[in-house]
Each structure stands twice: as structure tokens, then as C-alpha cells.
Amino acid sequence: MQILPAIDIRDGQCVRLRQGDYDQQTVFDADPVAVARKWKDGGASRLHLVDLDGAKAGRPVNLEIVRRIVAETGLPCQLGGGIRNDESVREVLEGAGIDRVIIGTQALKQPEWFREIVGKYPGRVALGIDARDSMVATEGWLDVSKTSALELAEQYRGLDVAAVIYTNIANDGMMQGVDQQTIDDMIALTQLGLPVIASGGVTTMEDVTRLTEVSQQHPKLVGAIIGRALYEGTIEVSEAVQVAEKDA
């Protein structure tokens, strides 16, 4: 299972939100590029980048910083936030050097378009599912739909998606651990045959160990994104990588 340190960018800084709430922001570093280098030095083999300004604006905003992260770390990076049309996808994948683009809102609202994009960029498009009580949230988590996470993912069964990135909003940034319902949801997603990356709530090494054990039983659980816990020091990248990837 791969460990993906998260770098959330807003106003050019590295920040974390609580439950996706823009009014509950903590600035952890003024230089996201320096943070990216730190996570690389800790042993990370891939980075998870989020353009929070882009998520709100509906288009990528912080691409210059993203380009610098890609160039200066040399790591494969995945990016989400405001990627909702062909131009944005092309700009991110072909112009910014991003390895994987994450699409959430439009996968729910324009399923045919999402299928077309996956067909155009096989293995390079991740389905971002942000859920509250297992129901899909969209527009930078500002709205909750009437579609369940499993229903949304099932539409794309058999497509060459890079991964399903599953985030439980209730856990995200709260430092409360990964709950059993979230794990159950992720297991159900893996049973659709889709690779799944866990996101939200990974707080301690116990969470990393638990997810690693689930991954060993359900190999389609291929990764875990860690955010606030790295910035607050409750998890070290090097230790998480050692535990999660030891049997990889």
C-alpha cells in the first residue's frame, strides 16, 4: 500500500481544512514546494496535491506552484480541485506535468464526459469520491448529493481509472482516526474491482497499520493519503512508508 502525503494549496500556501470547511483553515507552511521536498526526503514515492482555490473557482488556480513541485521533486503527483472540463484536464496532465488528475464533481454531474476523459487518458484519471454519511459531496464539499459513493463508483466499473480516492468528509482534518464505516465503504469499492486510495482521518500509526492489514486482505486498497497528521507530527512519513510498503 502506497503512502501519499497531502499538500493542500490555498493562496499559494500549504494549508489544511477541517471537514473541507474553508473557514476552518490552518496555514502550515508558506512554501508548498519546500513541504513537497520534505515529504520526498521522508521516503514518499507519490504526492497528493489539492488546489483548494481551484475547487472553489471551478478551474485550476495554483498551477505554477504545482509545476514547481513536480519539477523540484521529480515524484509522480496527482492533483484535484476544480478540474471540470477538457481544457483543465489537458492543462494539468500535459502542461503541468501531473501524473494523475482527480475528477469528482463532474464524474457525478457529467458521467458521459467523465467516461470520455478516462478513454482519452487511460490510467491517468482518478475518480474522487468525497462522501458524508456515504453520500457523495460535490463543489468542493459545499453540496451533498442523493447519490451514494458505491452507486457512483459502480457506474465506472470496468473503466481504466487510475484509482478511486475515497474521502469521508466527517473525518477529514479532524484527527479522529479512520472509522469502521469508512473502511467498510472502501472494501465495498474494492469489490467492484476498482483500485482504491483511502483519504481522511488517518491520524496515528495505528490507522496506517490497520489500513495496511485491510490492504493485505483486499489488495485493491492500493494507497492511503495522509494530511494533517504529518503536519502536526503524529505520523512520520518515513515510518508510515516503512509499515505500509514493507510487503509491497
The one catalytic residue among 51, 53, 130, 207:
130
Cell 463508483 found at = 153
* Residue 8 bears catalytic tag: yes
227, 6 Cβ separation under 8 angstroms: yes
* Residue 21 bears catalytic tag: no
Query: Cα 79–82–87 angle (5° rounding)?
Result: 90
Question: Which ranges of the chain does DSSP label H, i.e. alpha helix?
Answer: 32-41, 52-57, 63-73, 86-90, 105-109, 111-120, 149-154, 180-190, 205-217, 228-232, 237-244
The one catalytic residue among 8, 51, 185, 207:
8
CA gap 30, 118 in Å, rounded: 34
Q: What is the set of active-site residues? A: 8, 130
